[in-house]
Chains A and B, each alone.
Chain A
């Protein structure tokens, strides 16, 4: 085991642990932008710098890449550290569109949060800025190079976690841009539109197009639930504003570990309050063949009397009820109970066979 102190707190960790991991263990938060837990560190953003003193020598280094050594004295908020982080933020802002009013991520931006925390309102550097066009080619999200800090979280997520490798960093210097080879346009490549890159983006560079409809601080509630599509059982958060679901985000569930697919992220809520939903009981007019709106009492009494009539005349086995494999356990249990206890039949099944 390796012994060190972080901000004066003694910590004991395994050899090979990084300072960032050791700090987390000690309950100390070090700010990061490019870091993704479980992946090898990118080490590109320089926000996680700390001051490490050992054997009388002191240095500033990135906590995500530096492994602990016996006797390290780590300071996470020394003057030098704060100065270095301010310079990093200043440089990031020097090529960042700071019209936060027009940015969907306003109020939900890690760069904005860190600038606020470290007291930066504007950059001290004047000069050239990225002027590359916005990529709107994907159906669900857009990429704005003027908001991109090139932290590679999106690229690392797509390559290492999603395993798709649809995007990469193209070109150099002010021409640097995240895109899909060879045309640099998102929709031209092998992208599956899962949007896990968007969820990984710490700024507004990658943004779901639906984010135009709400700001982070307007959200009324966030509801943790299970995706309604396939049987992976991904955990996700429904974002609700004014009684409507306006967005979906991946949550850290045991089977999905924060990931979602295109259906879960973008195909799981438009249908909920869609204009084609049936909103009233309907009874078919036998003469016209058209459905007519009915009250619940009319509809339920008709159902119960017709089913009871068939049961009386032909027995329970002349009735059947199929459950929906898309619905909840509680719904399905009550459906089969209805068939068995009220219909008097075991003719109940679900769509597992089909």
Chain B
């Protein structure tokens, strides 16, 4: 997020929520969005489903999944057509506006309405509300990123915010509401094939050398392979050994058959896990690590806020801190790595990462920080952290308009697979449920999978609410309970991605985003029939 949860929900006049259902996926943010609406902020919901917040919305654009880029281009067309652009901001703070203008010229509200299957006047009204609000953030989530054009979807939203000068100020910005507790941190910490900590590019001059000096070892200078691209390489034999730390790709990655085939192709497969997950079952060795409640450390939330995690208990058995496990492997493979405490590790992170230079456990625990964490960039020990980014100047200097044309999703419904299926999260569970399904009450409330079908589609198929149906795509077939309503549009359906029985990822498409290699979880073609 460019901004903080507090300022976008407490200091905004309007909120544009795109592909995000915070009441279920990020409930405490959802509560604060409800507070904002109660306070009088206008809410624009851009989502293919009737999420609960759409009832409170001034406008709900129930657009066709996979059409976010067209939607964003349509907004910008209207900004220009109706003179809503922030000319001063564009001139002083950005570049490449002319190319952007050229790109969106053809995206008339009528054309966009046709692509997105929405009302052109509602699109105009949404554009006006957002552009004319003094302060208005864009909040978005996986409904924007989990497409084969996801990265372009994100850039398009940045273009939208820049064109009306809604960036670098409280109550504004472009704000991805990130998924997992520490997915921000995982990216910050250099668990990326092309970047070290703090987004220091391997390809940039001097970066690999800097880490070679810090770590006292010769490093590989070649950019690595992204996780989603590793699976085909396991099947082809280019990748032979793998260690997975706490992930369950058999459950969470698309096209489950393909993932299992890849993991079974490995010569040697190790997992560091808490539970016997579907992925762990395929391993040669399982190393028992520790949960968040059994260790010291930090998580970085979606606001870039680094906050402490503290050890509360130890459990019976021989589990070990995960840092101890990795240190042992390093030493046994010949790289001399001393055992460090989590606080010492954060000091090392700060020493090699400019944006984390001012962060330490000692400081996070201090009276000065007062339990509020520190938001990176935090460039020195006396730097207060950065609540709002791009104030006065973008990180890259001038904000760059990056025009993107709308491209349809990779797998669209056809005669054989006539329904478009999306996937997502429900309030009560987290991802593959490894943690949440250990709580009885949660399973009693939300214990099994389902598929949301549109009433017209269900009627045509003779399917009643609550009936068991089989759902098939080109990649597999599963069964789930039908929930029939008007929540999705006709021709569209939706499934949660949490459950082992009736897991939607047997069906989902492994078409990847061309830049980030994120799978297109939000769009695949399926057919539904009454279960035999």
Give the B-binding residues of A (Cβ under 8 A).
139-140, 160-164, 192-194, 221, 223-235, 238, 240, 243-245, 251-257, 259-264, 266-274, 276-284, 291, 294, 296, 299-308, 310-311, 314, 316-354
Contact = CB atoms under 8 A, between A and B. Distances in A.
Tier of interface size on chain B:
35 or more
A263 B438 CA distance: 11
B184 A322 contact: no
Given A223-B310, A233-B302, A354-B227, A272 B315 contact: yes
B220 A345 contact: yes
Per CB-CB distance, the 7 closest pairs between chain A and chain B, nearest first, are A279-B317, A233-B301, A163-B34, A328-B297, A324-B246, A346-B224, A261-B27
Given A230-B25, A322-B249, 5 more contacts: A263-B27, A325-B186, A329-B182, A330-B296, A337-B337
Interface in B25-64: 25-29, 31-35, 37-38
Interface stretch (B68-76, B109-117, B189-197): B189-197
With a 10 A CB-CB cut-off, give which of A314, A319, A330 has the most chain B CB atoms: A330
A255 B323 contact: no
B220 A317 contact: yes
Interface string B216-260: 010110111111101000000011111111110100111000000
Contacts of A317: 220, 222, 224-225, 238-239
Nearest to A283: B285
A39 to B, nearest CB: 11
Nearest to A328: B297
Contacts of A329: 182, 185, 188-189, 297-300, 306, 346, 349
A299 B193 contact: no
B442 A267 contact: yes
Given A233-B301, A308-B334, A350-B183, A341 B219 contact: yes
B439 A267 contact: yes
A272 B291 contact: yes
B219 A326 contact: no
Contacts of B182: 231, 325-329, 332
Interface string B1-28: 0001110000000000000000001111
With a 10 A CB-CB cut-off, give which of A279, A308, A334 has the most chain B CB atoms: A334
A96 B274 CA distance: 46
Contact of B35 (A161, A300, A331): A161
B371 interface: yes
Contact of A332 (B189, B225, B240, B329): B189
Interface in B284-303: 284-288, 291-303
Nearest to B513: A353
A227 B181 contact: yes
A281 to B, nearest CB: 6
B481 interface: no
B428 A267 contact: yes
Contacts of A294: 285
Contacts of A162: 31, 34
Contacts of B342: 328, 330
Interface of B: 4-6, 25-29, 31-35, 37-38, 177-194, 196-197, 202, 211, 215, 217, 219-220, 222-228, 230, 238-247, 249, 252-254, 267-268, 270, 272-276, 280, 283-288, 291-303, 305-320, 322-323, 325-330, 332-335, 337, 342, 345-346, 348-349, 371-373, 427-430, 434-436, 438-442, 444-445, 516-519, 521
A150 B480 CA distance: 44
Given A227-B181, A323-B191, A334 B516 contact: no
Contact of A322 (B222, B241, B247): B247
Contacts of B34: 162-164
A253 B371 contact: yes
Nearest to B517: A353
Contact of A338 (B274, B329, B371): B329
Nearest to A302: B285
Contact of B31 (A161, A253, A318, A339): A161
Contacts of A346: 193-194, 202, 220, 222-224
Contact of B4 (A254, A283, A310): A254
A279 B320 CA distance: 9
Contacts of A306: 241, 267-268, 284
A277 to B, nearest CB: 6
Nearest to B245: A324
B211 A320 contact: no
Given A221-B312, A232-B5, A328-B182, A163 B293 contact: no
14 contacts: A255-B301, A263-B436, A263-B442, A270-B438, A277-B274, A279-B318, A283-B285, A296-B320, A324-B272, A328-B295, A338-B335, A341-B219, A351-B247, A353-B517
